[in-house]
Structure 1
């Protein structure tokens, strides 16, 4: 087997390995199954490219992005390595050249997209060419609940079994849960040799700021770094276009990028960014994974990322050359509301939604940190670190204050309302805001009502945000986002512990969100749950969501919270057919109880008589064997009960005409009591 050092120098031009590379190269070369977690810019590709040259046979590299594969193949070919890629981006001549090299046995590295594994011919081809190693780049894409999930990554484990060869998986983004998922899906649960080479990128300066004229904040940040390549991530497609235009008007070279653009337009932006110095790309997260540009000097987030993993991966695109790079992440209450609703409206099961909320909480904790951000970030990934001296909080320690009293007020309000409400309603209680819901629930009589009126509503939102970031409270997905206390909060509530809060983010929280929300904070989680159900039904039926119910109908459901089919029938947009088809389903979302409604009952609901039908059913069940419970069973048909509920006969002769003598004798008096109470 060739010695690694000469190949490292002669082929790749390096005199020495980067920290951690040599041990990984040795394990991969020896044919061990490997899972390597390495920071972006840490030299992952060399850890499978160099072993490929030291082993016999062909190394198959499975990578998610065509542009990245093509770049790596070109670089290897320039270095004299026989490498090729089979991708949809190939010309016919390029594909022919790859096949010819495979047939001759010349190729050492073959790059493939995971989607190609779906072709029936792929396995036969790979068996024939003598594969000796599978390398998987961006292995976190196998995680079904990750933000970069690629379904065809699930085929890689089967490929490893069929070929009977070792597998080396690499990624820069995998917490402990994702690592375990990789082991299960790529290695069938058999423990590979794990290498955790750290998540620290000491050359990257970390900074967060609460939103305060966010467009101006981004323009100022970019202006201080004029002429340097950067990326601005935005939460919406429209925002990328608007902000790119603002940057151009401010004298920058800038363009936008999002998934709604034509493929050719996206390729033009990618090509410009690769070759132009000083270009700023304003993009959604559609732009990023696989970017191999080493001299990106800064990354800014105009909106809060989806999770701490997404944040880490996105800032990791800066400073891949090891030179200093800077980041800025803006956040505000609208961001948090959006991210919460995206989680709640998703189709993931409850345990996964809870995990996503926990990941978002971790990111909020980083945003609201009291000391070194790098220490908080690395702590999330299980690494201990001291203060880095290279983040905004190390540069300028934040002003703090004793937040024990307001936090205890908030926790008391949560406890006294049974942990059934979100931050919006709790803030109404604390500030003494007499809403209809406050009065209906008699929450204006609570001891905590108006105890926090000395603070504004936005300031209380900032306090609740810090409480979530410190994991004192968590939204409960089973209660449509109602806040529940964690164990960490109980010592503070009991007066056994205190807590420091950041004063600056509270002092700056003086403005309400610029965009009016569709519903109140209190009703927003339920609206998200209703939208999630609508989305699932729409996808199953392959129709647009509004065909099930328009937004205004779901908004009215969230605000009025109907508890019966009769009440549901009164919602605008719920006609008889939709009530019959969807009424019970949406009631279950609102009430949390499954309700199987008879078709007759659903029809009556449109006329306001379903409640009477329910009561008649209950009475019939009680008297099915007579008053003493020993008579021969007797019951009415659904049609007969419906006629009773609908016609409301007021005397026994009327009942006898509908039910007949025997049934009227057994049920008549009780049915008349029900009808009399309803009219």
Structure 2
């Protein structure tokens, strides 16, 4: 039986576990239940996949996401693991094939939906099989308090009734305290140990931008991230289509995706995105739940998400490989108002409405924050952060507050004097004193507040009015043409002198300049240039291999693995296995082609002034050996001594290369050397003293020939000294 460490290395290519993984696995292997909370990309699947391969029997993974099942199974098979799924995508014959594999004990992991698990008599049939573990993925779906409650999950308590001795591991990336307690209760595992990993994803750069001129800001962002795959989330289907169309018109490789699209189109679009044939997906939340694409480099929210859980889960789809990734959220009060209106007009119970409104309010607080955004995000999941992250827009550019009381009074006075009937554009025209037809027709140019804010540009007023609206100083009536309305706080500002502070306006041009300044990097060193060029070369090779195999590129190797490969530049299989994410199956399947590509790159760039690869001299020796050269000719070609060449070949053989020593030294020569060694009572060993032999032979043989004869005897014949002496008619050695 393999240990958990051996499984991790052999099948997944990693030398060490991430925080908490080993503890979770030990708990499960001890037959105990567990609840695991880890962020997206934090390694939840390893917590049940490793035990599945250590334990004797079948592990059932309950998941609501068909696409994720397929990705996980495909990835496991690529690693040499016997896995399958049972869901509605399989025809009858395919399902029967899976059932037979279960009966024959040929599967280690089976992914299944809760609907399929509880259909017919399948659960009773499972009692006759050897089940080692149940893994309940996306376990927040079982809780009413979770952000993605699914009624079909409520039957999962039956697992403990039917299999009381089989451990259950529940896993989720998003659950607050209330939801965690409910998960344990609903699964009937109240005493299960809870493992709470840090929800901090330091590789994610968090940014919130004002919801004005969104398309312009998006284009700026995309131009700064050329070719990087990413997802743009929108609130409505119509918006996904319009945003994708605009991006396509501007030359970006983008597609829209939502639940209303034809199923064939959705499947094709998702497959193209997974294969890196599409750079940008513009989607509703219907997209992404079932994909395990590790190289998404950014996630953008065109609209405000409904709750922090959804937002956290969606941004978590970026940078799953641990490399740097960007997240951008556009925020406007209109998004809040629209979602609030949708909740209030829904047919949900009042308790559910109250819950959704409260969760939306927490999301709004995140978007409006003037303190480290990561602190807010992490604290939502009941985790304490001791210091600011330094990787969000607030930390990088602390907000400058100014007194906006007079400004607010001008705005509120203008709203009052227009009978609370004007929207943003007209209000700004009044404040700036614009004498257009609309203003003159309504007589707004006669108001006392007309021109009261002429010193500010249109963009400045738009920003400040949005801030006043977002802070609750006034309201907006979307059912009355987006007209602004006064409220109780408005009266406090107008009548009682309540002070108001606002964040100082930063023009879009200045924000662009700051972003460009942040993106300006110090000139790369030669080593960094070589590393990046190597990465791009490996990325292209990965794409070609993936296309030929009909699988997504990240299932060949993740970006993180390619990055480590580009850094280490392995040139033999022993080195290749030291790359993070390379297991034995991937080494066998892809090792030669990647090593050859790295060797070609190394040869092309060996004059770069950068040390290109560890052990390159060995590879050059190996190439000449494989061409049939003998040791002396290799030494001549490489301008090295035969003894050095022999040391190269010995190292290569130790590392697993196929080196046939016998063809490098005639049998008669070997026999003569070994016989002389025995007569001189010299042990046949790799490090035996050869000076007496050299002296006895004079110039007949060289030192490398003596060493090689000893190597062949020790590694090829493998006989002890006495057996060899007896075979050659020599007397036994004396003590």
Interval of TM-score (by shorter of Structure 1 and Structure 2): 0.5 to 0.7
- Counterpart mapping for 1:297-308 below 5 A: 297-308=297-308
Q: How many angstroms does 1:351 deviate by?
A: 3.0
**Alignment correspondent of 1:364:** 364
Which residue matches 1:504? Answer: 505
Give the Cα separation in 2 of the matches to 1:454 and 1:366: 33
Query: For 2:3 and 2:372, how far apart are their aligned partners in 1?
Result: 43
Secondary structure at 1:173's aligned position in 2? coil
Distance 1:458 1:350 in 2: 35
Partner of 1:121: 121
**Residue in 2 aligned with 1:434?**
419
Structure 1 equivalent of residue 322 of structure 2: 322
Contact 1:226/1:252 (8 A) holds in 2: no
Return the TM-score normalized by structure 1.
Answer: 0.62
- 1:52–1:499 Cα change, 3 Å: farther
Secondary structure (helix, strand or coil) at the match of 1:195 reads strand
Partner of 1:265: 265
Partner-residue secondary structure (3-state), 1:120? coil
The equivalences for 1:383-532 within 5 A come to 383-385=383-385, 386-402=387-403, 431-434=416-419, 462-463=466-467, 465-467=469-471, 501-504=502-505
Q: State the match for 1:47 in structure 2.
A: 47
1:340 aligns with 2:340: yes
Q: Secondary structure at the match of 1:187?
A: coil
Partner of 1:180: 181
Query: By how many angstroms is 1:344 displaced?
Result: 1.1
The CA distance in 2 between the partners of 1:8 and 1:483, in whole Å, is: 62
> By how many angstroms is 1:460 displaced?
7.5
Contact 1:227 1:278 in 2 (8 A): no
Contact kept? 1:58, 1:130, Cα under 8 Å: yes
Whether the 8 Å CA contact 1:138–1:170 is kept in 2: the answer is yes
Query: What secondary structure sits across from 2:127 in the alignment?
Result: helix
CA distance in 1, matches of 2:149, 2:80: 34
Bigger radius of gyration, 1 or 2?
2
Instruction: Report the Cα distance in structure 1 between the residues aligned to 2:200 and 2:52, rounded to whole angstroms.
Output: 28
Q: Is the 8 A contact 2:71 2:291 kept in 1?
A: no
Aligned equivalents of 1:36, 1:498: Cα separation in 2 = 47
Q: State TM-score, norm by structure 2.
A: 0.58
What do the CA deviations read for 1:603-653 (whole angstroms, capped 9, x no partner)? xxxxxxxxxxxxxxxxxxxxxxxxxxxxxxxxxxxxxxxxxxxxxxxxxxx
Tell me the residue number matched to 1:544.
none
CA deviations 1:476-497 (Å, max 9, x no partner) are xxxxxx99999xxx9xx999x9
Q: Tell me: CA distance 1:507–1:61, structure 2 relative to 1, closer, same or farther (3 Å).
A: closer
Identify which range, 314-323 or 215-224, moves more after superposition.
Answer: 215-224
Counterparts of 1:370-389 in structure 2, within 5 Å, are 370-385=370-385, 386-389=387-390
| Whole-Å separation in 2 of the counterparts to 1:199 and 1:8 | 23
Distance 2:336 2:136 in 1: 34
CA distance in 2, matches of 1:378, 1:142: 23
Q: Render the CA deviation track for 1:40-93: whole Å, top value 9, x for unaligned.
A: 111111100111122233211001111211221222223332222111112445
Judge conservation of contact 1:118–1:152 (CA < 8 Å) in 2.
Answer: no
In structure 2, the partner of 1:111 is: 111
- Provide the residue aligned with 2:312 in structure 1: 312
- Give the drift of 1:11: 1.9
Report how many aligned residue pairs link the two structures. Answer: 464
* Structure 1 counterpart of 2:280: 280
**Does structure 1 retain, via aligned residues, the 8 Å contact 2:72–2:292?**
no
**Post-superposition offset of 1:427:** 5.7
1:251–1:460 CA distance, 2 compared to 1 (3 A): closer
Alpha-carbon separation, structure 1, partners of 2:404 and 2:28 = 52
Are the equivalent residues in 2 in contact too, given 1:206–1:373 (CA < 8 A)? Answer: yes
Contact 2:303–2:335, Cα closer than 8 Å, also in 1: yes
**2:275 and 2:397 mapped to 1: Cα distance?**
36
SS at match of 2:274: helix
Partner of 2:255, secondary structure, is: strand
CA distance in 2, matches of 1:499, 1:311: 30
Matched-pair contact (CA < 8 Å) for 2:298–2:319? yes
* Partner in structure 2 of residue 535 of structure 1: none
Match of 1:628 in 2: none
Q: Which residue of 1 aligns with 2:647?
A: none
From the superposition, tell whether residues 238 and 151 of structure 1 become closer, same or farther in structure 2 (CA, over 3 Å): same
TM-superposed CA distance for 1:255, in Å, is: 0.9
CA 1:373 to 1:89, structure 2 compared with 1: closer, same or farther past 3 Å? Answer: same
Other-structure match for 2:4: 4
Q: Is the 8 A contact 2:469 2:475 kept in 1?
A: no
- Give SS of 2:235's match: coil
**Higher relative contact order by CA 8 Å / sep ≥ 6: 1 or 2?**
2
Query: CA shift at 1:357, angstroms?
Result: 1.7
Q: Assess, with a 3 A threshold, how the Cα gap between structure 1 residues 279 and 224 changes in structure 2: closer, same or farther.
A: same
1:159 aligned residue: 159
Contact 2:140 2:147 in 1 (8 A): no
How far did residue 302 of structure 1 move?
A: 1.1
Q: Which residue of 1 aligns with 2:222?
A: 222
Distance in 2 separating the partners of 1:191 and 1:91: 40
Provide structure 2 residue ranges, at least 5 long, that are not aligned to the other structure: 422-447, 477-484, 510-735
Equivalents in 1 of 2:373, 2:452: separation in Å? Answer: 31
The answer to whether the Cα contact below 8 Å between 1:81 and 1:108 also exists between their aligned partners in 2 is yes
